[in-house]
């Protein structure tokens, strides 16, 4: 250890002290993790295996934040980020790690979390990746807007750890069919001179630009999110976009007046064209609206649904299935198309309405949907079903759902998780010795290249009645 400020360092770091450290891991934000004198040190732009001189900046609880002064050793998996603002923008966190390195890291993180939090040392299948689409994979963008005191419109994602917008004209993780419009729309919004502030800290105005694309159909839906409808020339601008770009099938205004973390509000106004675009998913035709929740990586979402269908094909053909937290039926509808009877459960009425519309659109009479609290609905109807599919939010399953599963014990459970920590917690309660299930397969999948996010499909089989 060396220091340019102190001849001898105490056991507790002091801001300004400089030492040499070796990175051992990344945290959930993509920052490098190291240890020095039993302190956890967090350093941005450092990859596992790399050695660098760092300077302590400040203490944060039982950790110390530091900055990299200069690199001493780098790893071969480091690369120049594909995006020139990647180091500033908070949209991506690990663009400086190559695609293969990202896959290895995510596989390792999943294994470590399942073992540490769930005591699960089961075999994990190789992560599903698509290196040909590690960029340009996102089918949707919701981008904050802000007009500064000089009247310049800023459009971009927030700087890491702040609400300061990093201005951009393109984003390489977005589908090219979205990316191509950013600079044009930004220029038009600049000329309109509407007030803009994503946080509403300076008053009413437009807040976000939303663009969604059907990756199979190439249809585009443009949305302005605003706290007000009082935007002079709004309909003229919308009609101009609609006439200018044939791929744009609709332009909408979404009203979000609340100062909270919800980007979209409940009210959507049609400005031009149609409220929905069409997407093809697992050979089905789906309608997607401004507020529809749909996986942002269409191709990878299809792959994991096909994996689930292959697993279900090993069961009896007349089984009854529940899809809990079904959303618009992204999983339910392909299950129904495969010939099974399925009931989807979802809290949000708008999603259920969209699911019913898409079931009717695809002539899937064997798919039905119930709206309400999933835990309460599941307690009422699970006993009449053989297979339970779970796709919960990041917080995982609540205890009432766990108790219902342990009480009824359906023959098979499929659990698609977007958070390995809550997956580990929930699986620990469901599999032996605490529960009646054993893990048949663990399939990780990378829906979000260039970030630390990882999803995993856990397939469980009942082994005791």
Q: Tell me how far apart the alpha carbons of residues 84 and 172 are, in angstroms, rounded to a whole number.
A: 10
Strands (E), 274-317: 277-281, 284-288
The Cα-based distances of 46 to 42, 87, 173 in angstroms read 9, 12, 22
Is 187 annotated in a binding site? The answer is: no
Options 92, 171, 326, 418, the catalytic residue: 418
Q: In three state form, how does the secondary structure of 32-59 look? A: EEEEECCEEEEECCCCCCCEEEEEEEEE
φ/ψ of residue 300, rounded to 5: -70, -35
Q: Is 83 a catalytic residue?
A: no
Cβ-proximal residues to 108 (8 Å cutoff; 6+ apart), any chain: none
Peptide bond just before 417 cis, omega within 30 deg: no
Nearest to 255 by CA among 241, 270, 242: 270
First to last CA, the chain: 59
Q: Tell me how far apart the alpha carbons of residues 242 and 272 are, in angstroms, rounded to a whole number.
A: 7
Is 446 annotated in a binding site? The answer is: no
Q: How many CB atoms lie within 10 A of CB 448?
A: 21
Is 295 annotated in a binding site? The answer is: yes
Is 199 annotated in a binding site? The answer is: no
Among all residues, which ones are annotated catalytic?
A: 418
Q: Which residues are annotated as a binding site?
A: 295, 325, 346, 391
Residue numbers belonging to the annotated binding site for S-adenosyl-L-methionine? 295, 325, 346, 391
């Amino acid at each position: 250890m060396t220091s340019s400020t102190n001849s001898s360092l105490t056991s507790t770091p002091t801001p300004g002290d400089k030492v040499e450290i070796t990175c051992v891991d990344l945290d959930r934000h993509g920052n490098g993790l190291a240890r020095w004198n039993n302190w956890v040190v967090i350093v941005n732009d450092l990859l596992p295996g790399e050695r660098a001189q760092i300077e302590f900046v400040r203490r944060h609880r039982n950790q110390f934040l530091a900055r990299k002064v200069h690199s001493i050793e780098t790893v071969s998996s480091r690369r120049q980020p594909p995006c020139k603002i990647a180091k500033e923008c908070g949209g991506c966190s690990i663009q400086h790690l190559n695609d293969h390195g990202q896959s290895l890291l995510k596989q390792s993180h999943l294994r470590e979390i399942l073992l540490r939090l769930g005591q699960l040392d089961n075999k994990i299948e190789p992560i599903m990746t698509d290196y040909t689409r590690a960029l340009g994979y996102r089918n949707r963008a919701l981008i904050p807007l802000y007009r500064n005191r000089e009247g310049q419109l800023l459009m971009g994602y927030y700087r890491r750890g702040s609400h300061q917008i990093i201005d951009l004209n393109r984003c390489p993780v977005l589908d090219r069919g979205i990316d191509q419009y950013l600079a044009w729309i930004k220029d038009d919004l600049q000329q309109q001179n509407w007030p803009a502030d994503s946080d509403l800290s300076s008053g009413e105005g437009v807040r976000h630009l939303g663009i969604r694309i059907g990756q199979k159909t190439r249809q585009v839906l443009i949305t302005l999110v605003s706290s007000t409808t009082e935007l002079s020339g709004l309909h003229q601008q919308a009609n101009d976009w609609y006439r200018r770009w044939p791929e744009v099938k609709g332009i909408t205004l979404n009203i979000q007046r609340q100062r909270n973390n919800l980007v979209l509000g409940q009210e959507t106004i049609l400005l031009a064209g149609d409220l929905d675009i069409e997407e093809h998913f697992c050979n089905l035709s789906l309608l997607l609206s401004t507020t529809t929740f749909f996986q942002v990586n269409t191709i990878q979402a299809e792959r994991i649904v096909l994996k689930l269908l292959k697993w279900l094909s090993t069961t009896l053909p007349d089984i009854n299935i529940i899809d809990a937290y079904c959303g618009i039926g992204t999983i339910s509808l392909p299950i129904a198309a495969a010939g099974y009877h399925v009931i989807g459960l979802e809290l949000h009425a708008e999603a259920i309405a969209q699911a019913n519309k898409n079931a009717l659109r695809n002539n899937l009479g064997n798919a039905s949907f119930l709206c309400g609290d999933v835990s309460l609905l599941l307690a009422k109807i699970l006993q009449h079903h053989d297979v339970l599919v779970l796709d919960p939010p990041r917080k995982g399953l609540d205890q009432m759902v766990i108790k219902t599963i342990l009480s009824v014990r359906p023959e098979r459970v499929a659990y698609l998780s977007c958070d390995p920590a809550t997956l580990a917690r929930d699986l620990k309660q469901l599999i032996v010795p605490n529960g009646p299930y054993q893990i048949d397969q663990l399939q990780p999948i990378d829906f979000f290249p260039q970030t630390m996010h990882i999803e995993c499909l856990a397939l469980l089989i009942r082994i005791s009645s």
